[in-house]
């Protein structure tokens, strides 16, 4: 029998460090073929990750998924060797604890599906606009609450999406204007400039602050 040798933190001590990982470079290994595995699998596939699932049996929904590798068999440590992220989701607690120990020995990031406190990571609620992506989570394991909040945040950020695209293009141009680079970037990435942008006075105001020659460089091929 495998014991959980690492002391898991309490909910009160829980804190998250977020890191945006490029999906097409992330290799995910899921152990388990049930509903919890399927939900996690579907989410990572939708985000463009490489996903492999190992299980003795799979629920039917798995066979409708595309761009996935299903491996029928018992857990073996070799399965996690080439994975960045491991999701532990079997219905056998002893096997789950064995995988957890292997992940810790191999310095793998892992999600413990049956009890998120036992894991090293959680999968946050993730939403995407045209120019903005964001992730949101709760400290108390409240997925429905995270969905509710993400809808609220989505509506707020939707009002910024076009402006972020526009200001990002100006920022990319300003990086090559050494003299005023910092001032331009700080100015265009602000609520004041967003207001000016909405009023369609952005180019005029930039000319007043930084001069026509600099603005000409910024707007060339913009």
Structural domain boundaries in the chain:
11-123, 161-219
Question: Is the predicted pLDDT of residue 12 greater than 80, yes or no?
Answer: no
Burial class (CB in 10 A: 0-12, 13-18, 19+), 6: exposed
212 Cβ partners below 8 Å, 6+ apart?
Answer: none
- Model-level pTM? 0.84
- Write down the architecture of domain 11-123 according to CATH: 3-Layer(aba) Sandwich (3.40)
Question: Is the predicted pLDDT of residue 7 greater than 70, yes or no?
Answer: no
Q: Contact at 8 Å (CB) between 2 and 26?
A: no
Q: Which tens digits make up the pLDDT trace of 81-100?
A: 999 999 999 999 999 999 99
pLDDT band at 143 (very low <50, low <70, confident <90, very high): confident
């Amino acid at each position: 029998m495998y014991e959980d040798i690492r002391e898991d933190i309490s909910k009160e001590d829980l804190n998250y460090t977020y890191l945006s990982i490029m999906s097409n470079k992330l290799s995910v290994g899921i152990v388990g073929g049930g509903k919890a595995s399927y939900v996690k699998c579907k989410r990572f596939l939708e985000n463009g990750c490489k996903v492999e699932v190992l299980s003795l049996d799979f629920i039917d929904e798995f066979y409708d998924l595309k761009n996935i590798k299903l491996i029928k068999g018992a857990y073996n440590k070799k399965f996690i060797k080439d994975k960045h992220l491991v999701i532990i989701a079997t219905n056998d607690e002893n096997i789950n604890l064995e995988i957890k120990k292997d992940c810790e020995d191999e310095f793998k990031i892992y999600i413990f599906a049956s009890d998120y406190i036992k894991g090293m990571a959680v999968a946050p609620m993730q939403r995407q606009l045209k120019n903005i992506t964001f992730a949101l989570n709760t400290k108390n394991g409240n997925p429905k609450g995270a969905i509710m909040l993400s809808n609220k945040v989505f509506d707020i950020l939707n009002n910024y999406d076009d402006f972020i695209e526009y200001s990002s293009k100006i920022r990319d141009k300003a990086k090559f204007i050494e003299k005023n680079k910092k001032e331009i970037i700080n100015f265009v990435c602000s609520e004041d400039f967003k207001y000016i942008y909405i009023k369609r006075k952005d180019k005029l105001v930039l000319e007043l602050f930084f001069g026509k020659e600099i603005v000409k460089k910024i707007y060339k091929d913009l």
